[in-house]
Structures are given as C-alpha cells and as structure tokens.
Structure 1
Amino acid sequence: MWSWQRSWLGGTLFASLMFLSSFLGAIFILTPMLPLMLIRPKWYRAVVDQLIGWWETFPVALLELVYGVRVRITGDKIPQGERTLIIMNHRSRLDWMFLWSCLLRRGQLSKEKIILKTSLKNIPGPGWAMQVGCFLFIKRRWDEDEKIIKRMLNYLISIRHETQLLLFPEGTDLTEYTRKRSNDYAKEYNLPKYNYVLHPRTTGFVYIVEKLRKAKQLDSIHDITVGYPAGVLQNEMDLFAGRFPREVHFHIRRHPLQTLPNTRGQLELWCTTRWAEKELQLKEFYQRKRFKDLNLVDGRKSGNHFRKEQVKAILWLSIFFWGNFVVVMLYLMANHFFLLKMTSIIAVFYIVEGLLFGGVEDMEIKLHNAIWGKLPWK
C-alpha cells in the first residue's frame, strides 16, 4: 500500500514540499509580519506564532495522511495553556517533527520553542522561519549558551509569553557512536551503562527551570518518552530515502511545579533519575512494542483540546492550503518577474540581518530593548 511513499521518490517529495512551503512561507507570509515587532512585541509574537504553528501542521498532515505514520499518545493529560518545559529523549535527529503530532492534539503547537544547534538557523527558508519563531539556537558550549538562553528567556518572560520550551537534555540523538561515548562517560564516572538513552546533560535543564521558576513563568515539566516500534527515521538521509516509521509512540508524564525539588543538586538528581526510568521504560517498550500505560490520551473522550475528527479536518485543510500555496506561488513567480525580484530582495535581507543582528530573533530582542527599555528580569 505504501510503496512509492517509502522510497526515494516519496522521501524526496516530502523533503521538497517541506523546503518549498517553509521557504515560500517565510518569504511571503512571515516577512510581511516583521513590522509588527515595532508596534507591539506581544502582538507580533502572537501572530507569527500562530502562522508558524499552522505551517507545522503540514508535515504532520503529510506524515499521517499520506505516508501512513500512526501516532499513539499515552500517559497524563495536559491542561491547555500551561507554561512548561518539555524534556524528551532524543532517539533520532527528527524527533521534534514527530512531536508536532502530539502537540497539535493538545492545541499547543503554536507555543512551542525548540532548543536547536545554531547551524540550523542559516538554512534558507526553514532556518529563517525558525528565527522568526524565536527558537533558541545554541552552540553546545555552556559559557556561550548560557548567555543565549538567558537573553531569550528574559525576552519571553518580559512579554509574558506562554512558552512551551522543548529541551533534549541528551544534547544529541542516539546512535551507535553517541551511545559508546555516553557509556565511556558512564564508565569514567561509575554510572550505569544505557542502551536506549544517553546520559543527560543537566546544566542547561537546571538553569532553565530555576530561571523560569524565579520569574513565575513555569507551571510544570512535561516529561515525554518517544519510541519507534516499527522503524526509525534516524537522520535527513533516511528522510530523503523515505524510511518513515510506521508508528511513533509518545508517553507523557506531567510533573507540576510544586512537586519539583528546590536546590540545584536535587534538580540534577531529579533529571538523571528520569533518564534512568526512561532506560527501563524503553527496554520494556521495545519488547512489548508499546508503552505499558494504556491510558490513551489521543481519544474521543480524552479531554484534550482537539478530538480525532477535528484533528483529521485540520490535517486535510493544511494539505489543501499549503499544497495550493506552493503551486500558486511557484506559478506566480515563474510568470511575474516582480515576485521573483521580491524573493531575491527578501533573501538578501535575511542574509544581511543575520550578519548584522545575528538573526531575526536577536533583532526582535534588540528592538524590544531599544524601544521599551531594559528587560525587567536579570
């Protein structure tokens, strides 16, 4: 049934649609919204967050409706509108894309901010959209990353953004190479060896929790475990080859703020304990091909924001909108030199502003500081 979808043809088509929709969306949908940051940052953030969230439904729609990827969500039900830190194991380089299926069903897709490596911000199209989305781009050197995270969190706190911040404490995806490095580290420090997760790095986790808690901008931590019982899309090459997983399972555990420990050392232990639990949980998962908890979150009576029928309608509408958007914009650009010229000018703008400001997200913060004064949180 899924022959061409799970081939180089299907994978290349998916990647092409993702690139074209994000590139054209950044140029013709997001860029016209940039002047709003001069008027009211909170309004600007609300508008572009909704637009980016709408685009993020497109890969979800293609994966589920066209490529046949089944998503199963178990565990705790998440109250709508929570300000939270999402922590998740990093099984593949594209876990964040599959997580959008989970966030969509909770009605929280537009609030998500992902912590990513800084090289991704310069990719034409997707990188520009992530800059506009105020994603956090880190360099994996804490002396620099602390300043980046502090600046971004200060800004989001100052405009009272209901952030859902996604952090992969492991720092990288699980491969044979990274597993060996993690277990070498475990041997050196007399820690247990893991097969299904990597030992987490707790410095950034602790800093973010303490920062958000102090600012009263954290309601809970959502601890999500992802498992792939029938194939895993490990990296971009697998994506192009069409090696899409047949199923993706998410298990959610919600930890309210009041249940979290108060000291730095206790928070570090709390995080490492969660990862020890994930190792055991995933070991059982890959034996059973599902998580033990049978409390399905993605159900008609789950109490979530969207029901199954609503989700399916949103996904089909997304395919209709973005599919037509790509076709129409390519046609107009091919037949109207003005649009092609505008595209080139905007592309140059993103390159120049990256050199001058470091990215649209940095420009947003600098303009906010210059117009509305110093941030209230230090």
Structure 2
Amino acid sequence: METEIRQRVKSSPVSGIVLVDEEPKGHPGGEIKHGAATQVLRFMLFITYFMSCCCSIVATQLFGVPLYWLNRDLYYAYMALTKQSFGIFVTTLTQWWAPTPVRVSGDASVAGKIKKTADGRVELEFPGRVVLIGNHQIYSDWLYFWWAAYTNRPQMHGHIYIILKESLSYVPVIGWGMRFYGFVFMSRKMAIDQPRLAYRLQKLKTVHSGPMSGTSGLDPMWLLLFPEGTNLSANTRKKSAAWAQKQGIKDFQHVLLPRSTGTFFCLNELKGTVDYVYDCTVAYGGIPRGEYGQDLYSLRGMYLQGRPPPSVNMYWRRFAVDDIPLDDHEKFDSWLRERWHEKDLFLEHFVEHGSFPTDKATVNGTSNVATADEVVETEVKLGHWYEVFNIFIMLAAFALVANVLARIWNKTLGRE
C-alpha cells in the first residue's frame, strides 16, 4: 500500500543523531489502484482517446469555417454542435478513467430545479441564459460544470462559455478548439482584458434569427466565471490572507477573496439579457482541514492511478440580476464578498459534517414531503452509451461525402 508520509522529528537516545518518525497517513482517494505497468497502459489508452477526440473535433470545426462567411447564424449553431461533442468527450473521459460520485443539492432558491430521474441521474432545469459563478478548488473544476450543463434540460453543453487564462489558448489542438468555441482568454490585466471581454459579450447579447435563437432572438448561453481567478492552494491562500489584511477586510478559511472587477463588468454588459446568476459551491470529499484539493487530486492521480475524489459535491443557489447592486462597484464588491463569506460557511459545514446544509424542498420540488430526497447522488456519465459516437459523426459524414464526390469525379473522367 502506497501512503503519504507525515514526517516528525524526534530525539535519539544516541547523542548527535536525529531520527525521522514516519507516520502513515491514508490518501482520501484510497490506495493507488493501478501499478506502474497498468498506469502506462492507461496512459496510452487515455492519450489515444484524448487525441483522437480532440483532433476529430478540431477537424470538424475547420470544415465548418466557410459557414462564417456564408451564414453567421448557421456558423454559430454548427460550432455549438462541436462544443456538444467536447462536452460528451470530457464526460466519457471521467466516466471511463476516473469514475466519480457526484452529490447535487441546493437551497430553497433552486427548489424544483434539481431533479432525480428514475434511473438515478440528475436533471437540472436551469434557464437557457445564465451566468454561473463558483469557487475554484482544483484544475478540473470546469469539467464538472460542463457535465452539469450536459445534465440540464434543455441541454446546455453546446452553449457553455468559459473565461480562461491566456496561456491555454496556445496549447496545440485544444487551444485552437477553444478559440472556435468563443471562450475568453484573460491576461489578468484589465486594460488588455476589458476590450476582449466587451467584444465577446457583445456577441453573446446580439439578437440572432438562426436555429439556436429562442423567442427573444438571443442565443442560449451559460457563461462560467471563477471570480477567485485561480484555484485554492497554500500559496494562493497566503496571498489572499495578505491582501485581506492590507485592505482591512475579513479573510476566509476555505475560499480565496473573489476579484469583483471582471464579474462586475460581465454582469453589467449582459444586464437585460440575463435574469439570474447561478452560484455553485464545490467541495471534494476527503480533504482534511488545512489541506488542499489540488495537492490530493492531481490529474495523474485521478486518471491514471485510479484515485479520484470519493465525492464531488455541488451546492447551487440562484440570485436575480435585478437584486444585485450593479450600479456601484464598491457595493457590488461587498455583495460578492458576502456571497463568498456564505460559501466559506457552507464549506466549514462540509468539513465538519461531510455534506452541505440542504433543503428538502430543493430536489424534485417536493415541498413539505417528509420523505423527499435532500441530495441527488449520481455520477459523471452519459445518459446513453451511444452518444459517444456523436464526437465522430460529423467527421465521418464529411468523409462519406468526400468519398462519394471522389467516385463521381472518377466516373466522370472514366477512371472507373
């Protein structure tokens, strides 16, 4: 059994010698389930599936580029289909390599918006245009939000937009695909980022008449923001505490101080086209007090060693945009910090009890029913196994059409 070692120095009876007392401490994800040879095999299978899916999706995007000049509405609808493919891809990636139980709950503001299906899956019933905000725990947080968009009715995994750090845009293949998706890449310098944000948000609030548009002519949109700007770690927690002390404001234990400027700008730009902000507090099971998810749940540990979190916990709340003080930045900053203070209390409850505080009226909207479920316990998985072929169907269709056209051409020239 592989264990993490907590080292404790103690005096030796022999003068001048110091002993290190090794005290085993179990990993919350359990033992490493796969040895070195199996990890190599899993890596080869993982990278093969990863690259084949990513290359297929990007190739499909490239085939659709001419639509941009022919019909913009069709172009955006086409790219939304390729975004659906990526949502299915990240869901299957987790389902097959790092199967993870997920517990979904919320407060009374989302009563009836979280459903449990007969076969144990979760169905969210959030609107087609929302801004999502969440705390940032580990590098793969965005994956669970994308899966949540997949579980929504109507499904929104083709309409999610994420604000990311600029360096990711230069990653070969993946960075190209994210550019086609209309994601926003931030340098963390508002003078540079504000024009980029304004350009993208203008597109997201433009009225269209294409196949995606709703009754108002606005395309579906789930805009995902992480106001903390980075994930929680010992280093970022220390910086957050120092900033809180400098500003003379209350610090937190389980989250970082949120940065309000970008969120304030986004909400003001989208005001009138979005009715609600949906807030999700994310917690990963098994993290001891004072430790950090990024140190325990690495991508290697989750996908290769077989040590995913014992649970991913999502606690949802909803806020009406009209009730948020968007006319004054200082008031908004206080409002956002108060929401993060509440998150800190939720996470303290999670550390103490292993769960979030729940409302029985939330799941399935069964208010006043004593037997109502408080939490939907499910897992990251597809609704139907055959959906995985949607990743490759467009590229296969292009190949089929190209083959038919080649045969017609050859017959025309008398080669067949």
Give the TM-score normalised by structure 2.
0.69
Partner of 2:386: 317
> Within 1, Cα distance between the matches of 2:201 and 2:35?
40
Are the counterparts in 1 of residues 102 and 312 from structure 2 also a CA contact under 8 Å?
A: yes
Pair 1:276 & 2:363 matched: no
Offset of residue 285 of structure 1: 0.9
Map 1:173-192 → 2, pairs under 5 A: 173-192=231-250
Pair 1:167 & 2:167 matched: no
> Within 2, Cα distance between the matches of 1:115 and 1:87?
11
Map 1:229-240 → 2, pairs under 5 A: 229-230=285-286, 232=293, 234-238=297-301
Structure with the bigger percentage of helix: 1
> Within 2, Cα distance between the matches of 1:300 and 1:210?
31
> Which stretch has the larger CA shift, 108-117 or 59-68?
59-68
> Within 2, Cα distance between the matches of 1:295 and 1:104?
24
Map 1:111-260 → 2, pairs under 5 A: 111-158=159-206, 159=208, 160-213=218-271, 216-230=272-286, 232=293, 234-238=297-301, 241-242=304-305, 243-260=307-324
> Within 2, Cα distance between the matches of 1:197 and 1:259?
24
- 1:89 pairs with 135, 158, 181, which one? 135
> Within 2, Cα distance between the matches of 1:238 and 1:66?
11
Pair 1:63 & 2:94 matched: yes
Are the counterparts in 2 of residues 11 and 241 from structure 1 also a CA contact under 8 Å?
A: yes
Offset of residue 65 of structure 1: 5.0
Offset of residue 108 of structure 1: 1.7
| Closer, same or farther: CA 276–300 of 1 in aligned 2, 3 Å | closer
Map 1:222-371 → 2, pairs under 5 A: 222-230=278-286, 232=293, 234-238=297-301, 241-242=304-305, 243-264=307-328, 265-295=330-360, 314-319=383-388, 322=391
**Identical positions, percent:** 25
Can you give the 5+ residue segments of structure 1 that lack an aligned partner in the other structure? 333-378
> Within 2, Cα distance between the matches of 1:235 and 1:325?
33
1:67-101, CA deviations, whole angstroms, 9 ceiling, x for partnerless residues?
A: 32111211122644431111100001210012222
> Which stretch has the larger CA shift, 151-160 or 237-246?
237-246
> Within 2, Cα distance between the matches of 1:5 and 1:244?
16
Partner of 1:46: 77
Larger Cα Rg: Structure 1 or Structure 2? 2
Offset of residue 37 of structure 1: 1.1
Offset of residue 247 of structure 1: 1.4
Offset of residue 314 of structure 1: 3.3
State how many pairs are aligned: 322
> Within 2, Cα distance between the matches of 1:88 and 1:294?
20
Partner of 1:364: none
> Within 2, Cα distance between the matches of 1:291 and 1:5?
35
Q: Secondary structure at the match of 1:278?
A: helix
> Within 1, Cα distance between the matches of 2:227 and 2:133?
7
Give the TM-score normalised by structure 1.
0.75
Offset of residue 121 of structure 1: 1.2
> Within 2, Cα distance between the matches of 1:283 and 1:41?
48
Are the counterparts in 1 of residues 277 and 318 from structure 2 also a CA contact under 8 Å?
A: yes
> Within 1, Cα distance between the matches of 2:281 and 2:192?
29
Offset of residue 227 of structure 1: 0.6
Offset of residue 8 of structure 1: 3.6
Partner of 1:20: 52
1:304-333, CA deviations, whole angstroms, 9 ceiling, x for partnerless residues?
A: xxx999x9663522345559999x9xxx9x
**Alignment RMSD (CA, Å):** 3.4
Structure with the bigger percentage of strand: 2
Instruction: Give the partner amino acid of 1:173.
Output: N
Offset of residue 259 of structure 1: 2.3
Are the counterparts in 2 of residues 73 and 250 from structure 1 also a CA contact under 8 Å?
A: yes
